[in-house]
Amino acid sequence: MRTRTRFLLLVLSVLVPSFIASALAVAYVYRDAQDAQNRSMAETARAMALLVDSELEKKEEVLRALAASPALAGGDLASFYEHARTVVPPPESTVILFDLRSHQLLNTRRPLGTDLPKRNGSNVDQLRAKYGEERALVSDLFIGQVAKRKDFAIQVPVKVDNVLRYRLTMGVGASSLQSLLLRQHLPEGWLATIVDRNGIVVARTRQPERFVGTPMLATSRKLMGNARETIYEARTLDGTHSRVFVSTVPAADWKILLSMPTSELREAPLRAAALLGGLMAVLLIIGLAAAHRFANRAIGPIEALGQSAKALGEGAEVRYAAAGWAELDSVAHYLADASTRIRHNQSEMESRVAAAIAATERAQSALLKNQKLEALGRLTGGIAHEYNNLLQTLTTALQLAAFSTREEKVKSLIQTCQRTVARATTLTGQLGSFGRLQEARMTTVDVCEQLRSAVQLMKGSLRGDVAVEVHCPDGVWPVTLEPLQFDVALLNLALNARDAMPNGGSLRLEARNVAQEGADASLQRGDYVLVSMVDSGSGMTPAIMARALDPFFTTKPPGQGTGLGLPQAYAFAAQAGGTLTLDSIPGIGTRVDMYLARAQAEVTAAPGIEGDALPAQGSGSVLFVEDDALVREAVMRALTESGFEVMVAEDGEAALRLLENSARRPDVVFSDIVMPGQVSGIDLAGILRQRYPGLPVILATGYTEQQIAVPDVQVLAKPYAIEQLVGILSKATANA
């Protein structure tokens, strides 16, 4: 820790406790001020509730005075009507007389004797059923049937000779309470609201024309609950976040909601906190400035020594003037001595670091290319899987059709379709170029034979002015790969070379054995076959060569290149256990080297399949597991016609249930690999190995990234020929 920092910490150790104590005091004052505000607001809400209650009692007293009218007691409704209109002149309020059946006998808003509404618009009848006949009742807000405005009603019983004779009601416009609230002259920003028992706004100091008759927000209603007095925080109807103080109007069970914005509630305490906080900040700054000045005077010599150390770290010559401090002068002497030795070794270290950085950049570049190719492989592999299922259905159906007809014309058409399907199979196989290697399509080949075969494919795509040479000595090791992908990779490289030689040139292919000793970070130690293609084209600049292996990167005009040729070849080489490297000189040409891992197995010839050969006949029972309905239907029929007894399951779970519930176990299980559900074909094979060790399992795949780790399981690549499948199943049932 630096000396300056220690001085600063010393000052802070004095100031910070004082600052914390002040902060606690501010918090206490803030909290006390808020409590006082809450009490004041609660008292105000309670006073406003009593004010509304007093207003309602005044109207009740007027009603009770009218109820004691001699005209009403004597049944003189005409005199009572005129008296009521004089005491309570419409239209602000209305006096309505009801009989005991709740039928209107007179309404001061209507001429005496005219038709009156048959029903009561308020909820007074329900309240009377709840509270009884004796007390005065105040209804909730409703729309008046005559005036068509928002009213509430006050009703009192009328007794003549102690016998209930009538019910006298006063309909009061909600606006009368509106003016009552406005007369209280609440501070700006405050909001007073009267709500009835149902939470409907009866009066409001702000925007009454918009919100009177509107229900409270559900969240506010829930927070208020049934409490007669409470406090909660919520948003008002106009969206202002406020603290709401609730009090109950005794006569009506209505609520007075006094809302104050939370920002205003916190304003005064925050001002006090800001003032004290600013004062403490000023004191802290003054203390730190004083400590800084003192520290600078005390640690000047130490900083000079630090500058010498910095110069040492930068490789410069250390110069230090003696400060008169024995300890510091001794350290300075050692620094000067160390600078001499460091500068002597600096050049050697720089060369080693440069070499390490270059190796790291190469490794990062290779990793990035692999990640891009893996993403592309997942996309194209999924497409290849779906297409191979479709091609399997077509292959099987065409073979069945060929077996079922004797018409030469029909057979000719079927053969045409079969050739088309074979071409589609080749194209679909190219979609797997960027995915992981498919074990079902891997074979061990003679590289020289494969090169000579690929040259015939190239010549159809090259111009006549491009001379192709193949140099392949005897003894080249075999490699294990997908032959189709090898041909596609060579063709892609040849097309790139052709485009780099617009005026013609030479294209040289060669193969030779190489032993890798581990000097190249992109290759593991081992034996490889190096396949090289060298052209005499225009070459590539370093900038273009750095991106040449990126998917979709191309220097060709739009519509003339996909940018997938070199990435496909790179992906193929990686699948074959090796890698691909580029070397190019602008104006001279380009060399592409593909390292392919040496195979330990002998060369095996790919089995030839005749599309119109007669199917072999088999026997025994087969459990066929396939999720694709079209493939399932076609292959099941082909196996049945070939003599097998076929049991069918649409996925791995269904196959296990069938085996558990069946009294007879099949002779062989033939399953797809990629299926929906929790049990794939590989999982199914593993489960069957545990439960039924002697049961043969054959798997088929259109494309999968899963590695098959179950021993003694043969894998067929889709689309497969029926006679090939029948032969494999027959061999399996014979050995079972």
Torsion of CA 308, 310, 314, 316, to 10 degrees: -10
For the chain, percent of residues with pLDDT exceeding 70 = 73
Domain assignment of residue 294, yes or no: no
Do 498 and 626 lie in one domain? The reply is: no
Close Cβ partners of 150 (under 8 Å, ≥ 6 residues apart)? 141, 142, 143, 144, 173, 174, 202, 212, 213
Q: What are the structure tokens assigned to 244, written together?
A: 């709401």
Computed from CA positions of residues 455, 458, 459, 465, in that sequence, does the dihedral angle turn out positive or negative? negative
E-strand ranges in 419-496 read 443-445, 466-471, 479-481
461 in any annotated domain:
yes
Q: What is the 3-state secondary structure (H, E, C) of 98-118?
A: ECCCCCEEEECCCCCCCCCCC
Residues 630 and 583 in one domain: no
CATH number, domain with residue 730: 3.40.50.2300
| Helix H or strand E encompassing 650 | none
352 within a domain of the structure (yes/no): no
Give CA angle at 246 (244, 251), nearest 5°.
Answer: 155
pLDDT at 145: 76
DSSP H or E stretch at residue 76: none
Question: Would you state the pLDDT for residue 513?
Answer: 93
For the four alpha carbons of 699, 703, 709 and 712, in that order, the dihedral sign comes to positive
Q: What is the per-residue pLDDT for 608?
A: 44
Shared domain for 520 and 657, answered yes or no, is: no
Q: How far is CA 640 from CA 386, 623, 734, 735, in A?
A: 25, 12, 17, 20
- Is there a single domain that holds both residue 577 and residue 635? no
Whether residue 331 is contained in a domain is answered as no
Q: 652-661 vs 681-691: helix axis angle to the nearest 10?
A: 20
Environment class of residue 182 by beta-carbon count within 10 Å: exposed (0-12), middle (13-18) or buried (19+)? middle
* Mean residue pLDDT across the chain: 80
For residue 464, the enclosing domain spans 447-597
Looking at 563, 597, 631, the residue that finishes a domain is 597
The values of phi and psi at residue 248, to 5°, are: -105, 135
Token pair recorded at residue 276: 């004290």
Separation of alpha carbons 112 and 96, rounded Å: 11
Q: State the CB neighbour count (10 A cutoff) for residue 542.
A: 8
Q: Is residue 174 domain-resident?
A: yes
- Model confidence over 698-710: pLDDT tens digits? 888 866 555 565 6
Q: How far apart are CA 540 and CA 553, in angstroms?
A: 13
Q: Is residue 291 part of a domain?
A: no
Last residue of a domain, one of 218, 252, 276: 276
Name residue, tokens 């396939």: 626
The CA–CA distances, whole Å, from 154 to 13, 92, 122, 151, 483 equal 70, 14, 10, 10, 98
User: Is the CA virtual torsion 182, 183, 184, 188 positive or negative?
Assistant: positive
Region for 720 from its dihedrals, namely left if φ exceeds 0, alpha if ψ lies in -120 to 50, beta otherwise: beta
Q: How many CB atoms lie within 10 A of CB 676?
A: 11
Tokens for 391, please give them. 């091609």
In the chain, the N- to C-terminal Cα span, in Å, equals 79
pLDDT value at residue 613: 47
Classified as helix, coil or strand, 443 is strand
State the total domains in the chain: 3
Q: How many CB atoms lie within 10 A of CB 697?
A: 24
Residue 19 lies in a domain: no
Q: Are residues 156 and 44 in the same domain?
A: yes
Single residue among 537, 565, 597 that ends a domain in this structure: 597
Q: What is the token pair recorded at 156?
A: 């009192």
pLDDT (0 to 100) of residue 582: 92
85, 179 Cβ separation under 8 angstroms:
no
Q: What is the pLDDT of residues 507-518, one digit of tens each?
A: 999 999 999 886
Residue 76: CB atoms within 10 A of its CB come to 14
Cis previous bond, 208, omega within 30: no
166 & 243 share domain: yes
Smallest CA-to-CA distance from 276 within 19, 13, 14, 15 is with 19
For residue 167, the cross-strand partners are 98, 157
Same domain, residue pair 552 and 663: no
pLDDT at 452: 87
Residue 126 lies in a domain: yes
Q: Do residues 532 and 665 share a domain?
A: no
Can you tell me the distance from the alpha carbon of 319 to that of 307, in angstroms, rounded to the nearest whole number? 9
DSSP assignment of 203-247 equals EESS-HHHHTTPBPPHHHHHHHTT-SSEEEEEE-TTS-EEEEEEE
- 658 and 569 within one domain: no
**Amino acid residing at 129:** A
101 and 221 fall within a common domain: yes
Is 566 within 8 Å of 548 (Cβ atoms)? yes
Q: Residue 69 is part of a domain; what is its CATH number?
A: 3.30.450.20
| CATH number of the domain to which 556 belongs | 3.30.565.10
CB contact at 8 A, 666 and 623: yes
Q: Which residues contact 426 (CB under 8 A, 6 or more apart)?
A: 484
C-alpha–C-alpha distance, residues 519 and 528, integer Å: 14
Res 610: pLDDT: 44
Identify the segments of the chain with pLDDT beneath 50.
Answer: 434-438, 606-614
On whether both 522 and 569 belong to a single domain, the answer is yes
B/e letters for 194-230, b = 16+ CB within 10 Å, e = fewer, are bbbeebbbbbbbbebeebbbeebeeebeebbeeeeeb
pTM score, whole prediction: 0.39
One domain for residues 87 and 204: yes
Q: What are 382's two structure tokens?
A: 């999924």
